[in-house]
Structure 1
Amino acid sequence: MDLSTIMSRAAGLAGGAGGEALKRLQHVRLPGVGQSSVTDDPRTAARRWRAVTVLTEPARLQESLPAPLAAFGDRLEVRVTPAPGDRGAELAARFRGPVTEDEIGHLRAALREAKALVEVGEVLRVDPQPHGHRKPTPQGRTVEGMAQRAPEEGVL
């Protein structure tokens, strides 16, 4: 087996490990703070509200849903309320029935995209990198794996 094949396999494993590490870090218990994310059974997780604060008038969001949330159709229950401290609107959504963990991740990403569309007018993307592509090293693959998973988990 030549060196390029070995490096390619190592980079692939590192990318997968980075995504898995991010997933595990979401559930680390922090002393004095609690758990960074709640791990619930799928039925309970589906009923949990996920929310973002959007710098806009609540009436604007009540008129029509942003496209990322509208794509879910009637599978979502959506709530729009004034945000505390006169900071815009709180946009919250939850599923009406049982869903998978991946679908919950898609809802988190859709809420962030909806916020960006309303506030900025577009969804800003990190990729592709302005300076080019990351080198296919184990560290670069790890960062790539984490960057791909971050929109659904909410952190990088």
Structure 2
Amino acid sequence: MDLNQLIGRATGLASGAGATLLRRLQHVRVPGAGQASATDDPEVAARRWRAVTVLREPGEVSAALPAPLAALGDRVEVRTTPAPGDRGTELAARFRGTPTEDEVGELRAALRESKALLEVGEVLRMEPQPHGRRAATPQGAALEGAAQAAPKEGVL
């Protein structure tokens, strides 16, 4: 086995171990910090308020609903409250009924885009990639998949 194969195999094993560890940590409850939503009943977790903190005064945020949230229409409830410690405004939304997993992802992406629009005035995109295409390797494919899922999952 040459060095490149050895490094590739070690990288694959490390990635698998890291993914397993993260999956287990997702269900760990830290005393005093609440409980991870991953362990909640799916229907309860789906009805939870999703929120972002926007660096704007509450009056500026509640004046007009940002386009990404407005696109969800009457399907969502939206509320704005002053963020703790004078840190702007907390913009929160949730579906009126029980949403699907894809709808929850749409809501998360809409909140994130609304925050960007309110704070910066535009939503920054990385498509097309400024540095070109990633190499067609297993790691490149995994990174492409993670980048596509990130707006709805909130993790990258």
Q: TM-score range by the shorter chain?
A: 0.7 to 0.9
Q: SS of the counterpart of 2:139?
A: helix
| Letter of the 1:29 counterpart | H
Give the Å deviation of 1:119. Answer: 0.4
Q: How does 1:74-89 map to 2 (within 5 A)?
A: 74-89=74-89
Q: How does 1:49-64 map to 2 (within 5 A)?
A: 49-64=49-64
> Are 1:46 and 1:96, in contact at CA under 8 Å, matched by a contact in 2?
no
Partners of 2:62 and 2:50 lie apart in 1 by 17
Give the Å deviation of 1:110. Answer: 0.7
Partners of 1:27 and 1:153 lie apart in 2 by 17
Gap regions ≥5 residues in structure 2: 1-18
Partners of 2:23 and 2:126 lie apart in 1 by 22
Tell me the equivalent position of 2:117. Answer: 117
Tell me the equivalent position of 2:45. Answer: 45
Tell me the equivalent position of 2:70. Answer: 70
Give the Å deviation of 1:31. Answer: 6.8
Q: How does 1:12-27 map to 2 (within 5 A)?
A: 25=23
Does the alignment pair 1:29 with 2:27?
Answer: yes
Q: What is the TM-score normalised by the length of structure 2? A: 0.77
Compared CA separation, residues 127 and 36, structure 1 to 2 (3 A)? farther
Compared CA separation, residues 26 and 76, structure 1 to 2 (3 A)? farther
Tell me the equivalent position of 1:8. Answer: none
Greater relative CO, 1 or 2 (CA 8 Å, sep 6+) = 1
Gap regions ≥5 residues in structure 1: 1-20
Q: What is the TM-score normalised by the length of structure 1? A: 0.77
Give the Å deviation of 1:36. Answer: 4.7
Compared CA separation, residues 36 and 42, structure 1 to 2 (3 A)? closer
Partners of 1:109 and 1:134 lie apart in 2 by 24
Which structure has the larger Rg over C-alpha atoms? 2
The alignment's C-alpha RMSD in Å is 2.5
Q: SS of the counterpart of 1:29?
A: coil
Partners of 2:47 and 2:35 lie apart in 1 by 19
1:51-102 deviations in whole A, cap 9, x for unaligned? Answer: 0000111111211110010011011111101111111100000110011111
Partners of 1:41 and 1:60 lie apart in 2 by 35
Q: SS of the counterpart of 1:147?
A: helix
